[in-house]
Structure 1
Amino acid sequence: MTRASVFGGFLAAGLGALAGPASAQSVDVVHYWTSKSESRTINILADAYKAKGGRWIDSAVANFDEAVAVANSRIAGGTPPSAILMNPGSTLDEMTEAGYMRDLGDIAEREGWSKVVPPFVLEKMTSNDQIVAVPLGLHGANWLWYSKKIFEEAKVAPPRTWPEFLEVADKIKAAGYVPLAVGGENWQINYIMSSILSGLGGPDFYQKLYVEHDPAAAASPVVAEGFETLRKLQAYVDEGSVGRSWNETTGLLVTDRAAMQFIGDYVKGEFSAAGKVAGTDYGCVLAPGTEGMYQVYTDLMTITAVDDPDVVKGQDLLVAAVLDPTVEVDMSRSKGSTPGRSDVVSEGLDPCARLGSESLAGARKVFSGPYETLSSDQMGQVTDLVGQFWTDRSMTAEDAATRFAAIFP
C-alpha cells in the first residue's frame, strides 16, 4: 500500500470525526517503532511522559503506511489518536491542509522554540505555515556500516568510490563472508539506490533530481549507470535476503556474518542493544562518493487536531516530554539519532555520532532525504521500480532508467 493510497482515506473522512476520548492527561500515540532499539527508544519517551503524571496509550503498528492507515480509520470512526509518529513530506502536508493536524504555533512562541530548535529542524516541523509537530531526532541516510572484524581479516579499507566498493566486496567474498547485507523490502533497496545516485552524480545532481524533480536529471545517463551499479551489487548478497527486515539484516553485521550494510544511522541502536561499540566492533563511513553531502530524515511526533480539552492537555504534556532536553539526549543515544534541539550537550559522542554531528553543523551540504522531498506518488513509484528491478533480473538498466525518467515528467 502506498502513502498516496493510504492518505486517500483521510480525505474521505469528515472533519467532524476529529474528537477524542475524554481522559485527562492521557495520550494515545500511533507509532511504528517496533524493532528492539526502536521499542527501547519509544519507551524512554513513554516513561518520561508517565513521570510527568500522564497516562501513555501505546498504539504500535508495523510501518509508516500502516500508521497512516490506522490513523485514517480512527479519524473516520471518530476516535483519532492524540499523536502520530511521522516524517515530513507530502502526506503530512495533505493531512495539515485537510485540517487534521493541530497548530502548535502558540506554544512555540510562548516557549521560544526558535531559540532552541535549529532552522532546518523547525522547517521540518512546519507544514502549510503551521507548526504541527515536535522533533524526536534526526537521522543521516547515506551511511555505509561495516564489521571491523571482517574488514581486518580481509585486509580491506572502507571504499570511497563505487569501483572501490566492488573491489572490497570481492576480497570479502574470497575471505568467506557475505559482503553486503541487504533486506527484502523495497524501501531498503531504494536506500541503496539513492546512495548510489548521490555518489555517482554528486550534490548538484541530487539537488536537481530529488529536490527540484528536474526531468533532465531524471533522464541523465547517471540513472542508467546507477541501475547498472545496483545490479552488480546483487552478486554480493546472501540468499536469505528475501523478505528480511532491516533490523534482522543488521543482525548479520552484529554477528560478523556479513561485512557491510547501507542503512540510516538508526542502525546504531541495534548495535548498541547487542553490546557492540562504534569504532571497536563496527565502523561507519558515508556511502561511496557522498563524502561532501549528508542526507537527513527527521522523526516527528505530529499532534492531531481535537476538540476535547482533556485530550489537548494530554497533548501539551506530550509536547513538553518530547522537548525535555534530557529526554531528547536519552532517545538519541538509544536510537542513534541526533537531538532535535541545539542547546543539548551529548557527552562522549562515538565516532559515528561525531561524523553525523559535524555534517549537520555545516561540514557537508545537508539535504532532506528522498522520502521527504518526493511526493507520495513519486516515492511510491520509485520504490516499486527499484524493488522490481532488484527482483527481476531480466530488466535491463536502460529499461529501468527509461521508466525512472517517466516518473519525473
Structure 2
Amino acid sequence: MMFKKTLMAMALGGTVAATAQAGEVEVLHWWTSGGEARSIAVLKEMVQDAGHTWKDFAVAGGGGENAYTVLRSRAVSGNPPAAAQIKGLEIQEWGDLGFLASLEDVANENNWDQVLPEVVSDVMKHDGDYVAAPVNVHRVNWMWANPDVFENAGVEMPTTLDELWDAADQLKAAGVTPIAHGGQPWQDATTFESIVLAVGGADFFADVFVDHDAEALESDTMTQAFREFKKVKDYIDRGAPGRDWNVATSMVIRGEAAMQFMGDWAKGEFTAANMTPGEDYACLPFPGTQGEFTFNIDSLAMFKQRTASNSEAQMKMAELVLSPEFQETFNLNKGSIPARTDMDMSAFDSCALASMDTFKQTANSGEGLVPSMAHGMSTTSTVQGAIYDTVTEFFNSDMSAEDATTRLARAIRAAQ
C-alpha cells in the first residue's frame, strides 16, 4: 500500500511545461532478440524521421520481470520513461495509480476504435481513454509440427486430444520424442491453458482464468483437464526440465521431436532456419481448440511527461505504432499478426493468415476468443503466479488430479 501511495504522489507531480519543440521518447522494452530488435529499430527510425529523438532503454531477460523492476524504480524516483512495454491488467494497475497519459486525441484522429477489435481496444483503455498502443496480437494455442517426422512414423497429425495421445503413442513406439517441451513454469502453464481450452471450451476457460469462478475451479471438468495435462509428461524427453522454449523449437526443426505447443513467436525460429510453413513445418491449432483463439497482446503504455515537447513526441510515437507500415514490419518479424484488422495481409505467410482469420471470426462473433492466463492477459500477476506454482508442482510430482484441483482453487482464492 505504501508503495502505491508513493507512486501516486509521484504521478501527481508530473506536469507538462508549455513549450513546443522536437522532443525525446525514452522507450523501456525487452524486445531484444534478432527479429524483435529489427522491428523496434524501424519504430525508432520512424520517430526520428518525424523530427524527434529516440532513447532506447532495452532491458533483456526474465520475460519482462527485469524490465518491470526497473520501471517501478524509475516511477518511484519521479522519472518514468515516455513509454514502456506493458500488457494486460498491468496497464489498468498503472492507470489506477495515475501515471498514464491519455491518447484520446491521437486515437480519435486515427480512428482507432474503427480499426481495432473491441477485445483489443478494451485492454488498451483505462476509464474509457486509450493509454496504450497495441503492437501485435499473438495466438498462444498453436501446435508446431515437423511433417517429415510424422510421415516417417506413419502417423497422422492430431486434431483432437484423443488423437494427440494416440499419435504420441505411435511416435514414441517409432523411437521419436513426441513432444518438445521446456520444463519452465510459464511453458507448463502455456500447455496447461491450451488443454483447459480443449477440455472445457472457451466459456469454461473464462470462468476459470478470468472470473475465477469457484464452481468451475472445483469442477470435474477442471480435474479432467489436470488429468489430460499430466499425460504430456509421458511423451517428453529427460532433458525437458529447465529447457528454454526456443531450444524445444529447435528439436522440432531438427526432427528430434515431432511437435511443440507454443505461441506464434515460435514461428520466428522456423523462419530463421529457412523453413516454409505448409512444407517444412506445420502450424495447427492445439488439438481440440479449432475455431478458438487464446490471445496475448504486446503493447506500449504511455507515461505522463514533464515537458510539452516530450509529450508531443510521445503522441507521435503512439500514432506510428498503429500505422500500417509499422504493424506490418513488426509482425512479420515477430511471427504475430497486426492488432488492426483492416490490414493488407498479402505479405504474411499461411500461418499468419490462418491466425488472422480465426482472430477476426472470434472477435466478430464474440465466441471462442479468450485472454491468455499464461501470458498475463486474463488475471493479475499474483493470481497468475499462484496458478504457475500449482500447475508446475502437479506436473513434476505424483500429486493427483483431484488434489491439484483443490489446491488450485485454494491458491487462487488466497491470491485474490
Q: After TM superposition, is the score higher than 0.5?
A: yes
Q: CA deviation at 1:404?
A: 1.0
Q: CA deviation at 1:304?
A: 0.8
- Conserved? CA contact 1:322–1:328, under 8 Å: yes
Residue 72 of structure 2: SS of its match in structure 1?
Answer: helix
**Could you tell me which amino acid in structure 2 is paired with residue 74 of structure 1?**
R
Structure 1 distance, partners of 2:277, 2:370, is 25
**Could you tell me which amino acid in structure 1 is paired with residue 78 of structure 2?**
G
Residue 298 of structure 2: SS of its match in structure 1?
Answer: strand
In structure 1, the residue matched to 2:315 is 316
Residue 274 of structure 2: SS of its match in structure 1?
Answer: coil
Deviations 1:52-101 (A, max 9, x none): 33333222222222222110011112321111112122x22111010111
Describe how 1:168-183 pairs up with structure 2 within 5 A.
168-183=167-182
In structure 1, the residue matched to 2:232 is 233
**Could you tell me which amino acid in structure 2 is paired with residue 365 of structure 1?**
G
Given candidates 1, 13, 33, the residue that maps to 2:7 is 13
Q: Is 1:394 paired with 2:393?
A: no
Given candidates 34, 48, 57, the residue that maps to 2:32 is 34
- Conserved? CA contact 2:101–2:303, under 8 Å: yes
**Backbone CA RMSD of aligned residues:** 2.3
Structure 1 distance, partners of 2:228, 2:178, is 15
Residue 294 of structure 2: SS of its match in structure 1?
Answer: strand
Describe how 1:191-340 pairs up with structure 2 within 5 A.
191-340=190-339
Structure 2 distance, partners of 1:24, 1:402, is 57
Deviations 1:116-139 (A, max 9, x none): 223222212112322111110111
Task: Sort the Cα spacing of 1:40 and 1:256 in 2 relative to 1 into closer, same or farther, 3 A.
Answer: farther
Which segment is superposed worse, 322-331 or 40-49?
A: 40-49
- Conserved? CA contact 1:9–1:73, under 8 Å: no
- Conserved? CA contact 2:275–2:281, under 8 Å: yes
Deviations 1:249-276 (A, max 9, x none): 2222222222111111122122212222
Given candidates 372, 376, 396, the residue that maps to 2:377 is 372
- Conserved? CA contact 2:161–2:288, under 8 Å: yes
Q: Is 1:45 paired with 2:39?
A: no
Which segment is superposed worse, 318-327 or 24-33?
A: 24-33
- Conserved? CA contact 2:8–2:98, under 8 Å: no
Structure 2 distance, partners of 1:335, 1:25, is 28
**Could you tell me which amino acid in structure 1 is paired with residue 380 of structure 2?**
S
Q: Is 1:135 paired with 2:134?
A: yes
**Could you tell me which amino acid in structure 1 is paired with residue 86 of structure 2?**
M
Structure 2 distance, partners of 1:390, 1:401, is 13
Residue 171 of structure 1: SS of its match in structure 2?
Answer: helix
Q: TM-score with structure 1 length normalisation?
A: 0.91
- Conserved? CA contact 1:183–1:244, under 8 Å: yes
**Could you tell me which amino acid in structure 1 is paired with residue 75 of structure 2?**
I
Structure 2 distance, partners of 1:9, 1:136, is 30
Note the residue ranges of structure 1 that are not aligned, 5 or more in a row: 1-6
Describe how 1:154-173 pairs up with structure 2 within 5 A.
154-173=153-172
Q: CA deviation at 1:208?
A: 2.1
Task: Sort the Cα spacing of 1:125 and 1:36 in 2 relative to 1 into closer, same or farther, 3 A.
Answer: same
- Conserved? CA contact 1:10–1:76, under 8 Å: no
Structure 2 distance, partners of 1:175, 1:37, is 36
Residue 85 of structure 2: SS of its match in structure 1?
Answer: strand
Structure 1 distance, partners of 2:272, 2:250, is 11
Structure 2 distance, partners of 1:314, 1:273, is 34
Task: Sort the Cα spacing of 1:39 and 1:152 in 2 relative to 1 into closer, same or farther, 3 A.
Answer: farther
- Conserved? CA contact 1:215–1:408, under 8 Å: no
Q: CA deviation at 1:15?
A: 3.3
In structure 1, the residue matched to 2:71 is 71
Deviations 1:368-409 (A, max 9, x none): 222322222211100121122223x23222221110122454
Structure 2 distance, partners of 1:218, 1:148, is 37
Residue 25 of structure 2: SS of its match in structure 1?
Answer: strand
**Could you tell me which amino acid in structure 2 is paired with residue 42 of structure 1?**
I
**Could you tell me which amino acid in structure 2 is paired with residue 16 of structure 1?**
M
Structure 2 distance, partners of 1:388, 1:34, is 31
Describe how 1:332-371 pairs up with structure 2 within 5 A.
332-362=331-361, 365-370=368-373, 371=376
- Report sequence identity in percent: 33
Task: Sort the Cα spacing of 1:8 and 1:118 in 2 relative to 1 into closer, same or farther, 3 A.
Answer: farther
**Could you tell me which amino acid in structure 2 is paired with residue 369 of structure 1?**
S
Describe how 1:91-110 pairs up with structure 2 within 5 A.
91-110=90-109
Residue 240 of structure 1: SS of its match in structure 2?
Answer: coil
In structure 1, the residue matched to 2:54 is 56
Task: Sort the Cα spacing of 1:307 and 1:262 in 2 relative to 1 into closer, same or farther, 3 A.
Answer: same
Task: Sort the Cα spacing of 1:244 and 1:8 in 2 relative to 1 into closer, same or farther, 3 A.
Answer: farther
- Conserved? CA contact 1:27–1:54, under 8 Å: yes
Note the residue ranges of structure 2 that are not aligned, 5 or more in a row: none
Over 6 Å off, 4+ runs:
20-23
- Conserved? CA contact 2:265–2:334, under 8 Å: yes
- Conserved? CA contact 1:37–1:273, under 8 Å: no
Deviations 1:189-232 (A, max 9, x none): 00100011110112231232223321100001122222222222
Residue 331 of structure 2: SS of its match in structure 1?
Answer: helix
Aligned residues: 401
Structure 1 distance, partners of 2:237, 2:268, is 23
**Could you tell me which amino acid in structure 2 is paired with residue 39 of structure 1?**
A
Structure 2 distance, partners of 1:43, 1:172, is 43
- Conserved? CA contact 2:202–2:369, under 8 Å: no
